[in-house]
Structure 1
Amino acid sequence: MALTTAFKAVATRGDRYWLVHIPELDQYTQARNLTEVEPMARDLIALLKEIPDDSFHLDIRIELPEHVRHHLELARKYSEDAARAQAESARERRAAARELKARGLTVRDIGTALGISHQRAQQLLA
């Protein structure tokens, strides 16, 4: 069955429950936890529109407090920075291994000199 109708459900934390707003209907329901957001929203939409609860697409958005979003943005940035640093570290390790190989060291000696196994040294040289 093709789902032609779409609704949004915006979940915002209240004092004890999640408030779930359906903007297209300008109606609210509530959920005790985030797992309940989708079924509660679907029940509300199905009841008010008199349609089956599986006959429409539901886009759920969880609104978090600004300070929480700020922490998440910083975490994302730090993760990206760490990934870039990890890639640069790997490039430098490969360069070090290649330079030692060019100076005539064996793979075993390269591994020992770099503090890695000779198998890892071979991978760096590949």
Structure 2
Amino acid sequence: MTTYTARATRDNDRFWLVHVAELGQYTQARNVAEIETMARDLIATLRHIEPDSIDLEIDIQLPGSAREHLARVASLREQEAEARKAAAAEARAAATELKRAGLSLRDIGKLLGVSFQRAGQLTSDG
């Protein structure tokens, strides 16, 4: 199966110009959500195949500064996920220590800023 690449660039700040290099042909999309559909439709029409049978890679060309910001967003989101995971582990550890110290689930929940039901979940073995 041939893999097609659709490269989308902004055209006059109004449309996305979509170039399918393997066909040497262009199509337009009004927005990012339409890029894949329009590329598949172009390929399917010219190759006489079903749009769902096409292996397609989308390459959206963005200004360098925007790409840098998006890369930073992805990095920060990864860090956020890691921080949330670490915070959850610390909350579990704190809840377990507080339970061992004899505190009630209501007190543990209050200290951790969660419900007593969540405190119970944090201190359970399962």
Fold shared by both chains (TM-score > 0.5):
yes
Q: Which of 92, 95, 99 is 2:93 aligned to?
A: 95
Q: Which of 34, 48, 54 is 1:52 aligned to?
A: 48
The AA in structure 2 aligned to 1:106 is S
- 1:96-111 superposed matches below 5 A: 96-111=94-109
Change (3 A) 1:52 1:117: same
Aligned to 1:84: 82
Structure 2: give runs of 5+ residues left out of the alignment. Answer: none
Q: Which of 6, 10, 14 is 2:11 aligned to?
A: 14
**TM-score when scaled to structure 2?**
0.76
**TM-score when scaled to structure 1?**
0.76
Q: Do the aligned residues in 2 keep the contact of 1:43 with 1:53 (CA within 8 Å)? A: no
What RMSD in Å do the two structures reach over aligned CA positions? 2.4
Instruction: Compute the displacement of 1:118 (Å).
Output: 1.3
Aligned to 2:24: 26
Aligned to 1:62: 60
Instruction: Compare 22-31 and 67-76 and name the one that shifted more.
Output: 22-31
Q: Do the aligned residues in 2 keep the contact of 1:9 with 1:58 (CA within 8 Å)? A: no
The AA in structure 2 aligned to 1:102 is R
The AA in structure 1 aligned to 2:107 is D
Q: Do the aligned residues in 2 keep the contact of 1:93 with 1:124 (CA within 8 Å)? A: yes
Structure 1: give runs of 5+ residues left out of the alignment. Answer: none
Change (3 A) 1:105 1:34: closer
Change (3 A) 1:110 1:96: same
Q: Partners of 1:61 and 1:8 in 2: how far apart?
A: 7
- Identity across matched positions, percent: 50
Q: Size of the alignment, in residue pairs?
A: 121
Q: Partners of 1:18 and 1:93 in 2: how far apart?
A: 47
Q: Do the aligned residues in 2 keep the contact of 1:42 with 1:53 (CA within 8 Å)? A: no
Task: Please give the per-residue CA displacement for 1:39-65, whole angstroms capped at 9, x wherever unaligned.
Answer: 544554456x5x325265151332222
